[in-house]
Amino acid sequence: MSKLFEPARAGALQLKNRLVMAPLTRNRSPGAVPNDLNVDYYRQRASAGLIITEASPVSHQGQGYADVPGLYLPEAIEGWRKVTDAVHKAGGQIVVQMWHVGRISHTSLQPGGGKPVAPSAITAKSKTYIFDENGKGAFAPTSEPRALERAELPGIVEDYRKAARAAIDAGFDGVEIHAANGYLIDQFLRDGSNKRTDDYGGSIENRTRFLTEVLEAVTSEIGANRTGIRISPVTPANDASDSNPQPLFTRVVEILARHDLAYVHVIEGATGGDRAFSQGETPFDWAALRAAYQNAGGKAAWMLNNGYDRALAEAAIDSGKADLIAIGRPFIANPDLVERMKTNAPLNPLDTATLYGGGAKGYTDYPALEKASA
């Protein structure tokens, strides 16, 4: 049997295979509260070695898309408990991705209709998902943000700490800190979105300060061995950019190596797009990134993501390039993706019209192999 389908360890997490269901925003949790539909969706996909949930805001301010589940309401924690119970009963492991979107939001989603927040008051050339006056979901340009005051930052770090504790209380096996794809932590990291002149901007050491504080707060609360983190060194998602990402993310992984994390989740290239995409004057050196992490003492499972099929995944695992492989959209249309990949069975086609918002259609009604062949 391929190593891809063998058990693996990621910190405190014992995984039955090396295929991970990547986070996938689906906009099916009205009021930021997980519901019975969400329970069915995640339970159906429990054969993954690990499920990473859709991104879940650590606070109301951290919300940037309509109908995504949160980690800041008591009723949301109760809803998540039903999800984790169902996944565990089905033999799965599940962590929640903790999120603060920063500037990738809209005034209609913010407390009191206020402006989204960001390291600097620079509007992202991006869109988010909201409901119009008729209750219809649609994509809309992100709103102009305001720059965070330095005095506000400890409160946001505290939001991450509280969300991590809430996640464990909800039965999650761990958490993933979302530090990728142009959201708040990534906005602090990159010089395209961080123009601050205080000790959170300018130098790489300053731009990594917020990430360091969040990481320390979360790991001290729930343990580093139940904490993963997601980074995307060169993605242009949500208007993310940096003039020289190699030294920046070398420093990022050196910081990560200080903690005995469960895993490091790396998006190669442009999220959901060109794996060879790069920023800066020279192509990004992915092997050098992992070497920098290991040379700094990092021992977490190395998880790679972006456009992996079975052949590419097996090659990465067998060569030692990766310990785990995260796969996104194929898990949407194929709740039994692990079995399909193991047996080289055909995959269900994806209905892109039902990706965001809606009900069971395109969410929990994709057939498993037995039903598909019946």
Contact call for residues 95 and 53 (beta carbons, < 8 A)? yes
The answer to whether 77 touches 166, Cβ cutoff 8 Å, is yes
Q: Judge whether 134 and 95 are in contact, CB under 8 Å.
A: no
Domain range for 235: 3-373
Chain centroid to CA 205: 24
Please give the structure tokens belonging to residue 286. 């992915």
Structure tokens at 329: 């959209």
Which whole-number Å values give the CA distances from 212 to 205, 249, 266, in the listed order? 10, 13, 17
3-class state of residue 6 by DSSP = coil
Q: The dihedral of CA 310, 313, 316, 320: what is its sign?
A: negative
Q: Which is nearest to 239 in space by CA: 283, 192, 196, 205?
A: 192
Indicate which CATH number applies to the domain containing 81.
3.20.20.70
Residues 262, 259: Cα–Cα separation, whole Å: 9
Q: Would you give the end-to-end CA distance of the chain in angstroms?
A: 27
Judged on CB neighbours under 10 Å (0-12, 13-18, 19+), 214 is buried
Who contacts 203 (Cβ-Cβ below 8 Å, separation ≥6)? none
Quick check: 11 and 227 in contact, CB under 8 A? yes
Q: What are the backbone angles phi and psi of residue 291, rounded to the nearest 5°?
A: -60, -40
pLDDT in tens, 102-148: 999 999 999 999 999 999 999 999 999 998 777 788 899 999 999 99
User: Which whole-number Å values give the CA distances from 365 to 91, 115, 196, 321, 332, in the listed order?
Assistant: 21, 38, 47, 35, 10
**Pair 253, 264: CB distance under 8 Å:** yes
Of 72, 183, 263, 356, which residue is the catalytic one?
Answer: 183
Q: What share of the chain is helix, strand, coil (3-state, %, to 5)?
A: 35, 15, 45
308 is catalytic: no
- 231 SS3 class: strand
CB of 57 within 8 A of CB of 99? yes
Give ∠ CA 27-95-66 in degrees, rounded to 5.
Answer: 15
Structure tokens at 123: 């509007």
Count of domains forming the chain: 1
Confidence at residue 133, expressed as pLDDT on a 0 to 100 scale? 76
Reduce the DSSP state of residue 128 to 3 states and report it: strand
How many CB atoms within 10 Å of residue 128? Answer: 22
Helix (H, G, I), strand (E, B) or coil at 331: helix
pLDDT tens per residue across all 374 residues of the chain: 689 999 999 999 999 999 999 999 999 999 999 999 999 999 999 999 999 999 999 999 999 999 999 999 999 999 999 999 999 999 999 999 999 999 999 999 999 999 999 999 999 999 999 987 777 888 999 999 999 999 999 999 999 999 999 999 999 999 999 999 999 999 999 999 999 999 999 999 999 999 999 999 999 999 999 999 999 999 999 999 999 999 999 999 999 999 999 999 999 999 999 999 999 889 999 999 999 999 999 999 999 999 999 999 999 999 999 999 999 999 999 999 999 999 999 999 999 999 999 999 999 999 999 866 55
